[in-house]
Amino acid sequence: MALLDGIESSSDLERYLHGIKRAVHHKMPYGRRFMIRFIDRLSSVPPHFDYNQMSSSYKYRLAKCREAYLFFTHDGWTDLFWVLRHETVRKRILHLLSSEREAYMMANVELFQWCEEVFEFFKKQVKRHFKRQASVELQQVLVDAMDELVEVVRGTDNKPHILRYYEYLIKLCQRTSLFPNSFVIPYPEKLDDEAIETGGSARVFYGYHDQKEVAIKEYRMFANRIPEAKKRLLKEAYITKILYHPNIIAFVGVVMEPLRIGIVVPWMRNGNIISYLATYTSLEVSRKELLEQVADGLHFIHEYGIAHGDLKGGNILISDDGKALLSDLGVAALQENVELVPTSDSTPRWRTLTIQHCKDALRKGGYSEDQSPSLFSRLSNISCGGTYRWMAPELLIPEVFNYKSGKATFLGDVFSFAMLAIEVYTGEPPHCSETREQAVLKTISGTRPKQPSNMPKPVWLLIEHCWKQKSDERPLMFDVYSSLACIP
Domain boundary among 237, 266, 295: 266
Same domain for 120 and 239?
Answer: no
Same domain for 231 and 252?
Answer: yes
pLDDT in tens, 99-112: 444 444 444 555 66
Highest mean pLDDT among 149-153, 185-189, 195-199: 185-189
- The DSSP element (H or E) to which 205 belongs, if any, is strand 202-209
Same domain for 332 and 463?
Answer: yes
- Mean pLDDT computed over every residue of the chain: 71
Same domain for 330 and 383?
Answer: yes
Domain with residue 238: its CATH number is 3.30.200.20
Residue 79 domain boundaries: 2-133
How many other C-beta atoms lie within 10 A of the C-beta of residue 362?
23
Return the pLDDT at 364: 61
Return the pLDDT at 123: 84
Checking if the pLDDT of 377 tops 60, the result is no
Same domain for 254 and 339?
Answer: no
* 199-208: Cβ within 8 A, 24+ apart: 199/343, 199/344, 200/342, 200/343, 200/344, 200/347, 200/348, 201/229, 201/232, 201/330, 201/343, 201/344, 202/262, 202/344, 206/267
Same domain for 94 and 227?
Answer: no
User: Is the residue at 175 inside a domain?
Assistant: no
Count how many domains the chain has: 3
Report CA-CA distances (Å) from 289 to 190, 296, 379, 487.
34, 10, 40, 10
pLDDT in tens, 387-397: 788 999 888 88
Confidence (pTM): 0.69
Query: What is the average pLDDT across 114-122?
Result: 75
Same domain for 245 and 315?
Answer: no
What count of residues does the chain have? 488
Of residues 329, 270, 269, the one with CA closest to residue 298:
329
**Cα(117)–Cα(24) distance, integer angstroms:** 8
Of residues 414, 420, 425, the one with CA closest to residue 392:
414
Same domain for 375 and 450?
Answer: yes
User: Is the residue at 164 inside a domain?
Assistant: no
Return the pLDDT at 50: 29
Kind of pairing between the strands at 202-209 and 212-219: antiparallel
How many other C-beta atoms lie within 10 A of the C-beta of residue 185?
15
Query: What is the average pLDDT across 298-323?
Result: 90
Same domain for 71 and 198?
Answer: no
* Bridge partners, residue 434, by sequence: none
Domain with residue 291: its CATH number is 1.10.510.10
Same domain for 127 and 240?
Answer: no
Half-sphere exposure of 466 (CA within 13 A, CB side): 30
Same domain for 287 and 352?
Answer: yes
Same domain for 111 and 204?
Answer: no
Domain boundary among 232, 266, 300: 266
Angle at 468 between CA 463 and CA 471, to 5 degrees: 120
